[in-house]
Amino acid sequence: MTQLAGVSTPEVLTEARRRRTFAVISHPDAGKSTLTEALLLHARAITTAGATHGKAGRRGTVSDWMAMEQARGISVTSAAIQFEYRDAVINLVDTPGHADFSEDTFRVLSAVDAAVMLVDASKGLEVQTMKLFAVCKQRGLPVITVINKWDRPGAEALDLMDEIRERTGLLPTPLTWPVGVAGDFRGVIDRSSNEFIRFHRTAGGAKTAEPERLSVAVAAAEEGAAWVTATEESELLAEESQDHDEARFLANETTPVLFAAAVLNFGVQHILDTLVDFAPAAEAREDASGGHRPVDSAFSGFVFKVQSGMNASHRDHVAFVRVCSGQFRRGMIVTHAASGRPFATKYAQHLFGREREVADEAWPGDIVGLVNASALRVGDSIFELEPVEYPPLPMFAPEHFRVVRSADSSKHKQFRRGIDQLDHEGVIQVLRSELRGDQAPVLGAVGPMQFEVVEERMTHDFGAAIRTEALPYQLARRTDRASAEILGHDRQVEVLMRSDGTLLALFSTPWRLRNTVRDHPELMLEDLATGSNEVPAAY
């Protein structure tokens, strides 16, 4: 039996097999944070769900801890929550609920082993849903689909199955099937046993809805035509080979489907059971060289998020680390792959929304918050013993640009510290040039709501109110110094440097980019997503 820093290989493998690490993803307003609360409620991790009906009585959900999130009722930052269910350890990562924060969502998807995709029963596969399906497929993440809001009027269940199959290329294999049309949710057929699971309403969905299992005979007698229709549709699915196959699910060929009403806690326990029974445990992850580091190797992990302002009293910041291999031990000395320098993990915590508890140990699949590890940036790898570096996380091409200045010139130090910290966290991309100087850097964002987060954080976290001014640029291209000298003579183009050293050429319009490429084909003007120097026909 081999030993890794005092822990046996079988112990690491046992703990890794217990982990289920997944993200909840969907189009905005599909109910991600509500589902997160409902899952915690059914796992007995909380006693009362935070989402209640009516604005006057609304409480913030556990995963939405920022004041802006609680005020608007949307998630603008990812949140990691760990809890136990049955014999498994669940690491749930709630993701931003708005398309403007897609970059944060994509980073989260690099740190999980599966995804729960929430689909609104009335709206089907929306734009953001399709983007996330594509990313999951590209990353090889198995996807469990939950048709949410079945308690409201919506599409036909079979039509939704056809839409999933046609638009995602994944074969839907329902584990449950609704009895009653959308808006008349009576319960579901458990397709593995053919039992009828009837759900009972609870006041405002604040408490768990305990399922009642009934035999086929009782269900047929009590539900009548609705039961007959549901069983006929379930049999049709079986004839089309739309039954769950674990191998095909893990190969990203199929997606198990469950029907639920998260706000009323209908179908939520079945989601938990599905995660434990079918979702993959932590496995060997690919490193930057193309190899795979086994989970029973010495400790390693990577940072997928850095967040400050979670503790208003101490103004600390937390690096979220996905444990990829070995055992993490609080206080252990690890090596920062980017710099080669060692550092001690003295302050390590598990997070439950904004609440924390000391993390003495963690295993592959877990997410650990390293407090005040100021050297760590998003995408950094850390390890013990054998060196390893995991693939870098993508940075999106910004599409919105604003100059930012301190509203109070006497608070320049706070202004500089705040902007640098938000850049460090990946909240915003900070672009600078000698011409503009540090007094007026340019902020680049994927979506305009990112600027609102910056204003909120700068005012409340750093005590430095800001003023912003929109710039007339619509797109950015990666360039080099030789090209930058030529572009510097064009008044409709500005070249700035991102904090990672990348030079970005900002163009006022796609037309301006096309003309520049036509007049100077020798220039380096790479698309940040594809690396191509070509201008798409759509431009």
**How many angstroms separate the CA atoms of 170 and 250, rounded?**
12
Contact indicator for 12, 104 with CB cutoff of 8 Å: no
Q: How far apart are CA 349 and CA 330, in angstroms?
A: 9
SS3 percent helix, strand, coil of the chain, rounded to 5, is 30, 30, 40
DSSP 535: P
Structure-token pair, residue 355: 């609440």
Per-position DSSP letters for 354-418, written without gaps between them: TEEEE-SEE-TT-EEEEET-TT--TT-EEESSS---PPPPP-PPP-EEEEEEESSGGGHHHHHHH
The amino acid present at 522, given as its one-letter code, is E
Name, in order, each residue with C-beta under 8 angstroms of 504's C-beta and a sequence gap of 6 or more: 398, 431, 444, 476, 477, 478, 479, 495, 496, 497, 498
Annotated binding residue 317: no
Alpha-carbon distance of 131 to 66, in angstroms, equals 26
Q: What is the DSSP letter of 476?
A: E
Q: Are 187 and 196 in contact (CB under 8 A)?
A: yes
The two structure tokens encoding residue 505: 């050429």
94 marked ligand binding residue: yes
Strand partners, 404: 468
Consult the annotation and say whether 73 binds a ligand. no
What separation in angstroms does the CA of 340 have from each of 247, 317, 321, 322, 334? 40, 22, 17, 19, 10
Residue corresponding to tokens 């995660």? 275
**CA pair distance 343, 329, nearest whole angstrom:** 13
Neighbours of 432 (CB within 10 A): 17
Cα(370)–Cα(376) distance, integer angstroms: 9
28 is in an annotated binding site: no
Burial of residue 154, with CB atoms counted within 10 A of its CB: 0-12 exposed, 13-18 middle, 19 or more buried: buried
164, containing H or E segment: helix 157-168
Cα separation, 226 vs 221, whole angstroms: 11
CA-to-CA dists, residue 470 to 325, 448, 451, angstroms:
45, 10, 10
Q: Is 105 annotated as a binding residue?
A: no
Distances (CA, A) of 468 to 157, 312, 508: 47, 25, 18
Distance CA 539, CA 535 (A): 7
Whether 130 contacts 481, CB under 8 Å: no
Contact 114, 21 (CB under 8 A): yes
**Residues contributing to the annotated binding site for GTP:** 94-98
**Residues contributing to the annotated binding site:** 94-98
